[in-house]
Amino acid sequence: MPLPPSLSSLRNPKALHSITDPHATTALDNSDSYASDPRDQHHILMDPQRCHQDQEQGHLGRAALAIALSSEPYSSLTDGGHIPTGWAQRRWSHQPQESSLKVDSSSSNMDKLSSSLENTLTTSLSKNNSGNSTREQESRLSKSFASTLSSVHENFAHLQQEEDSTALAAQTDRLCSASQATTTTTHAAARPHISIDTSPIALQLRRSPASFDPLPFAHHHRQATSKYSSTDNLNNSSAFSRHHNRSSCSSNTPSQLSLGFNPGKKTNTNPPTSIPKVLPTPSTTPTTSPKRRMSLTWNLPPGHPKEISPSSQGSSHAFSSAMPIISTPSTDEQDHQTAKSNDSHTPNIPINLYRSKSLSSSFASDDSFASSFSGHRSSSLSATPIVTSSSYSSLPYSPAVAFLSNFVDATAPKVSLDEEGAQVGDYLLGRVIGHGGFSIVREATSIQMDESGRVDRVAVKIVKTQTGATDNDRVQKMLRKEITIWSQISHPHVLPFLAVEELPMDTFIFCELCTGGHLLNYLSLRSDLLPQSMTPTTPRSARPLEEDEARVIFNQVAEAVRYLHEEKRIVHRDIKLENILRHENGTWKICDFGLAEYQDEEAAACFGESLMSLTESASTPLSSPKCGGGGTMPMKRGQEVEKMKEEEEICGGSLAYSSPEQLRSHKPLRCPSSDVWSLGVVLYALLTGRLPFQDEYEPRLQHQILNSKYEDPVECSTEARDLLKNMFRSKPEDRWRVGQVKDSAWCEGIIDHSLGVVADYSSGGGGGGSSSFLSSFRSTL
Ligand SMILES: Nc1ncnc2c1ncn2[C@@H]1O[C@H](COP(=O)(O)OP(=O)(O)OP(=O)(O)O)[C@@H](O)[C@H]1O
């Protein structure tokens, strides 16, 4: 089984070795002995048995050092196989390979370093776990650490000569982490909160202080500072300060302490004396960088093996390992419950709460955890069962996981790229607002604000690269064409195209958002009928619009069609109520150019395309099937045959809106007259609340269309009925073109010539003032 994404996408694999919490530190010191929990792969568990063996064999520290120094990526440390049923069997198969290390792990230097570290850790743990820790012991421990680190520095000088700054940095981090963990634990008893910065930020600062940009971490600083509110004991902590002084690690502010030294100094053979370690004091408004914030805070139950100071007995203390931090300090059980309820496996949820309740129950119910911590004591170990995944059952995340999640590549996808919350281009995807044949349409919001501080809301049509359709290639080809056409047209009543993002799995077309729904919705809602009422299968009707309102809408749509036909020389081929959307400003816009076509070669050329895409040699020129109102075009026979074959399969559109010539043709036509017919269907629906051609039995429906048999809407004005008649002419060549439609008396608002009542509704500006007059006038007809 491959590594879980949260681990496999670690930005810095070596970060694993900077884990600072005591569990993980112990695990790292027994680096052959930690494993992935099969129940939750984000957990790293320890094998105390193995820890013990390591210690017996004197490997404590050495393996960790070897791995820390290894330049191998983290993934290569895994066994690469499947996760067996028992977690304990899953161990990293990595054997430190001398050749891959920049240092000779058998050199005396290394031995010295290793055993020094080992001794220090052992001393630290045994003292701490005996519950007899005193200030004196703390001090001794600190000294011991200081000398260890100084020894480490000497060894690092050797490493520096190897010019391996990366390995050096990892080593530095690792050792500093180890020392901090113990020191911090020692001091956890003396104060409610202590925050030692071993975060990547601090590490970055240590590595390249000059290039460190404090801004993104301002929030972290603030948090860390606030966590340091209790600093009263800090200055009293002789061990702590001595440790820092003697180990060449210092603090400039009480709120930010960090350990380390600058590995960039390659020629310095002496232990470094000062280390860039202090984060800039926060002074600015925090800048959020939410994906890189987290907190590890947990309280230890009194008497717990991890609780090391006698002064802490009877109380609950916090151990805080500060990383890029958002702390949600709380001590009540309710918070713990909240934390538990958040126990999803989302690796990037950065807040981790470890409450005394959870730990005490966890520890109390499973001594193995305690023994794993004090694994060097063979007596307790032998009597203790191995750690199981249930040891962690009450914890939302292990500290190690929480820390690791901080290193997950910020760009790693957290959700599928076409799901709500995903970022595509400059937009964040939102809820689904519509469905098409091969698409879903979502709302999306811009990630940038405009000058007035507003965030743009747009719509995005998402088409999968693999739609699942057998003719997927064709679907993709049509999509290409839709984008080509749509991106080059611009009209107030055509839905504006904004951008396109093509990702491996999906194509995203961003366009203006129309919050008012489509025209079918609009009609249906008015009459409290379901949208189905307008489908050919149901003879029921919606309440018609007032003629003047219908005129406003129709004029906008017809104007857009006129623009397409006459200015752009394209045909829409799918004009219907569902493809006319209402913008929040009340205007109507045509959308869906999925079936749009160029009227002829010339038109195609204007869009930078060629209808003659086939390379076949010339043959007899032909015309496309006859259809009135233009749309003829020369075509070569071979090409046409191919084209016909292709087009037969992509013939689309809705039957209820189909023109007679389209029904007669076995391939989609590119003649504008068919659009005019469809436009007539829309007009009829607006005026009557029903479709002109509808029948549940399809052949009967086709018959109606072919013979242009529709019910004359006697309730409408003569001008409206006249217009409909001219739009529903069977022969395309007799049918009005869209320009004639636009110039019609009804569209012009010329209702009754004899009375000279003229109102101009063509601009879409309304004309509601004369509405009642017009209605009453109609009723007198
Ligand atoms: N810009 C938008 N604002 C609001 N809703 C939209 C927008 N674009 C599309 N929709 C909704 O999504 C539906 C489907 O969109 P569209 O017609 O563009 O997809 P399609 O895949 O081309 O559909 P079809 O299969 O019907 O051709 C529309 O009917 C409409 O309800």
| Separation of alpha carbons 38 and 212, rounded Å | 38
Q: Is the CB of 434 under 6 A from ligand 1?
A: yes
Q: Work out the percent of the chain whose per-residue pLDDT is above 70.
A: 35
Over the stretch 416-428, which tens digit does the pLDDT of each residue have?
677 888 889 989 9
- Nearest CA-CA partner of 175 in 221, 103, 118, 216: 118
Over the stretch 620-638, which tens digit does the pLDDT of each residue have?
222 344 454 444 333 444 4
pLDDT for res 681: 97
Q: What is the mean pLDDT of residues 285-307?
A: 33
Q: Is the CB of 576 under 6 A from ligand 1?
A: no
Over the stretch 673-730, which tens digit does the pLDDT of each residue have?
999 999 999 999 999 999 999 998 999 999 999 999 999 999 999 999 999 999 999 9
- Nearest CA-CA partner of 64 in 152, 161, 184: 152
Q: Is the CB of 579 under 6 A from ligand 1?
A: yes
Q: Is the CB of 443 under 6 A from ligand 1?
A: no
pLDDT for res 705: 96
Q: Is the CB of 581 under 6 A from ligand 1?
A: yes
Q: Which two tokens stand for residue 32?
A: 């052959």
Which residues have a Cβ under 8 Å from the Cβ of 3 and sit 6 or more positions away? 36, 41, 74, 75, 78
pLDDT for res 593: 94
What's the 676 CA to ligand 1 centre distance in angstroms? 21
What's the 36 CA to ligand 1 centre distance in angstroms? 46
Exposure b/e, 393-417, CB count within 10 A at least 16 = b: bbbbbbbbbbbbbbbbeeeeebeeb
Q: Is the CB of 433 under 6 A from ligand 1?
A: yes
- 695 close to 704: Cβ distance less than 8 angstroms: yes
Over the stretch 595-627, which tens digit does the pLDDT of each residue have?
999 998 888 888 888 776 533 332 222 234 445
| Separation of alpha carbons 25 and 14, rounded Å | 14
Say if residue 461 carries a ligand binding annotation. Answer: yes
What's the 578 CA to ligand 1 centre distance in angstroms? 8
Please, how many CA atoms are within 13 Å of residue 537, restricted to the half-sphere of its CB?
Answer: 4
Q: Are strands 351-354 and 295-300 parallel, antiparallel or unpaired?
A: parallel
3-class DSSP state of 353: strand
Backbone angles phi, psi at 446, to 5 degrees: -70, 145
Residue 445 pLDDT > 60: yes
| Separation of alpha carbons 458 and 435, rounded Å | 16
Which residues have a Cβ under 8 Å from the Cβ of 411 and sit 6 or more positions away? none
User: Which one-letter amino acid corresponds to residue 52?
Assistant: H
DSSP letter, residue 301: P
Residue 166 pLDDT > 90: no
Strands (E) located in 275-339: 295-300, 317-320
What's the 426 CA to ligand 1 centre distance in angstroms? 21
User: Which one-letter amino acid corresponds to residue 503?
Assistant: L
Residue 400 pLDDT > 80: no
| Separation of alpha carbons 27 and 31, rounded Å | 6
> What confidence tier does 111 reach under pLDDT thresholds 50, 70, 90?
low
- 495 close to 514: Cβ distance less than 8 angstroms: yes
Residue the block writes with tokens 């659009």: 675
Q: Is the CB of 4 under 6 A from ligand 1?
A: no
Q: Which two tokens stand for residue 167?
A: 């390995």
Task: Please give the number of the atom of ligand 1 that sits closest to the Cα of 515.
Answer: 4
What's the 42 CA to ligand 1 centre distance in angstroms? 41
Residue 456 pLDDT > 70: yes
Residue 194 pLDDT > 50: no
* CA 500 vs CA 443, 491, 508, 579: distances in Å: 15, 19, 6, 20
- 373 close to 23: Cβ distance less than 8 angstroms: yes
| Separation of alpha carbons 254 and 244, rounded Å | 12
| Separation of alpha carbons 457 and 480, rounded Å | 24
What's the 580 CA to ligand 1 centre distance in angstroms? 9
Residue 152 pLDDT > 90: no
> What confidence tier does 550 reach under pLDDT thresholds 50, 70, 90?
very high
3-class DSSP state of 510: strand
Q: Are strands 295-300 and 621-623 parallel, antiparallel or unpaired?
A: unpaired
Task: Please give the number of the atom of ligand 1 that sits closest to the Cα of 595.
Answer: 27
pLDDT for res 688: 93
pLDDT for res 94: 31
Q: Is the CB of 438 under 6 A from ligand 1?
A: yes
Neighbours of 780 (CB within 10 A): 5
Residue whose CA is closest, atom 10 of ligand 1?
Answer: 434
Binning the chain into helix, strand and coil, the percentages to the nearest 5 are 45, 10, 45
Strands (E) located in 450-587: 455-464, 497-502, 506-512, 570-571, 580-582
> What confidence tier does 143 reach under pLDDT thresholds 50, 70, 90?
low
pLDDT for res 355: 26
What's the 592 CA to ligand 1 centre distance in angstroms? 6
* Residue of 418, 427, 429, 439 best suited for mutating to test ligand 1, as the one with most atoms within 8 Å of CB: 439
What's the 266 CA to ligand 1 centre distance in angstroms? 62
Residue 465 pLDDT > 60: yes
The CA angle 544-702-739, to the nearest 5 degrees, is: 60
What's the 114 CA to ligand 1 centre distance in angstroms? 66
Lowest mean pLDDT among 439-453, 592-606, 639-653: 639-653
* Residue of 591, 595, 650, 655 best suited for mutating to test ligand 1, as the one with most atoms within 8 Å of CB: 591
Three-state SS string across 412-460, please? CCCCCCCCCCCEECCEEEEEEEEECCCEEEEEEEEEEECCCCCEEEEEE
pLDDT, mean over the chain: 57
Residue whose CA is closest, atom 13 of ligand 1?
Answer: 434
| Separation of alpha carbons 305 and 360, rounded Å | 11
Q: Is the CB of 653 under 6 A from ligand 1?
A: no
The CA angle 245-247-252, to the nearest 5 degrees, is: 45
Report the Cα 364 to chain-centroid distance in Å.
40
Over the stretch 733-753, which tens digit does the pLDDT of each residue have?
999 999 999 999 999 987 654
Q: Is the CB of 483 under 6 A from ligand 1?
A: no
- Nearest CA-CA partner of 408 in 72, 32, 42: 42
Q: H-helix or E-strand containing 758?
A: strand 757-758
